[in-house]
Amino acid sequence: MRKIKYSEALSEGLIQAMERDPNIFVTGISVDYSVGAFGSTTEAVRRFPTRVFDAPAMENALTGIAIGAAAMGKRPIVYHPRCDFLFLAFDQMINLAAKWKYMYANQAGSMPLVVRAVVGKGWGQGATHSQSFHSILAHFPGMHVVLPATPADAKGLLMSATQTDCPVVIIEHRALYNIEGDVPEEAYTTPIGKANVIREGKDITIVATSFMVQEALVAATELAKQGVDAEIIDIRSIRPLDEETVLNSLQKTGHILAVDTSWEMCGFSSEIAALAAEKGYYHLKSPARRMSVANCPAPVSLPLETAFYPKASNIAKTVLAMLGKNGDMSNIDQDDNFKGPY
């Protein structure tokens, strides 16, 4: 199997989905630029020039237009290069798209809307360009929310989203676009709502989202040198949530740490802690722990930004503390090579 980048996997999945279904079209800010969508739409523009087109910065109106198109049988994919501006489309997504089949009792067509949104740190992006609010979207029934952390899932979840008859939000982390992984050439789907045990272990369960999966893998490699065998669950989908995989792992390890790309309070890591407390209480050998970004808006200063986001070293140190162990994990973090443009 060949290795390709996360961005290339998205591109390949998009092409194969558009070949399969002529009702799919792509719009959003910069999707028809040569480096638009981090290169993930470049080939689609070449192959389907009338079905991939740029849109002005009108997030609310654009989402409403896409909802109308979806209700009429099209399968729009709307791209947001900065997730933060998706707030402007929340009314359309939450009060129309998510509730469509409930309001009209399935008598007004389906709502196969796909929204791709980019999150995560950049190079001093600051408080209004660095937010990851997947837990807010996942709060509302009627939408699926997925966070692919590997190239294989980037392709598979995108292809699943384009075959789903309800709104799907795909959250893509900036730091993932250049990572490489094994990806099948043929078309395939990754099931929405099914987590992936990406590393098996017996001592502690780490439930991670998005880029934190990659950081958790680095931490687990170093923890193994300290005699700690960490199991890592790439949650992939937070609505629907695969509770069974999480609880089965907790039953095996007795310890659980939830690592997320957003804040703790009312966030996804809190949902995992609540799940462990309510349905896995008798398996817990220590309190469930959460790890997320610092409890303040993202700073612009590079040293402060570096401290703001959790890293492999933070994960490893927390795991050791939970298990009553000591060890130096200060030098395990990988270099951040992200250079923009967004």
Write down all domains in the chain, each with its CATH number in brackets.
3-182 (3.40.50.970), 196-322 (3.40.50.920)
Average pLDDT estimate for 148-176:
96
pTM, full prediction: 0.95
Q: Residue 342 pLDDT > 70, yes or no?
A: no
Q: Is the pLDDT of residue 187 over 90?
A: yes
- Residue (of 124, 224, 243) closest to 174 by Cα position: 124
Distance CA 91, CA 102 (A): 16
Residue 58 scores a pLDDT above 80: yes
The residue from 129, 134, 255, 283 that is catalytic is 129
User: If you average pLDDT over residues 18-22, what whole number do you get?
Assistant: 97
Asked if omega into 151 is within 30° of 0 (cis), the reply is: no
**Which residues face 54 on adjacent strands?**
28
> What tens digit of pLDDT does each residue of 63-102 get?
999 999 999 999 999 999 888 889 999 999 999 999 998 9
CA distance 319 to 327: 10
Residue 268: pLDDT over 80: yes
- pLDDT tens-digit readout, 216-231: 999 999 999 999 999 9
pLDDT by residue (tens digit) across 100-130?
989 888 788 899 999 999 987 766 677 888 8
DSSP state of 333: P
Q: Active site includes 129?
A: yes
Query: CA-to-CA distance for 96 and 341, rounded, in angstroms?
Result: 32
Question: Average pLDDT of the chain?
Answer: 92
Name the CA radius of gyration of the chain, rounded: 20
pLDDT confidence of 20, banded at 50, 70, 90? very high
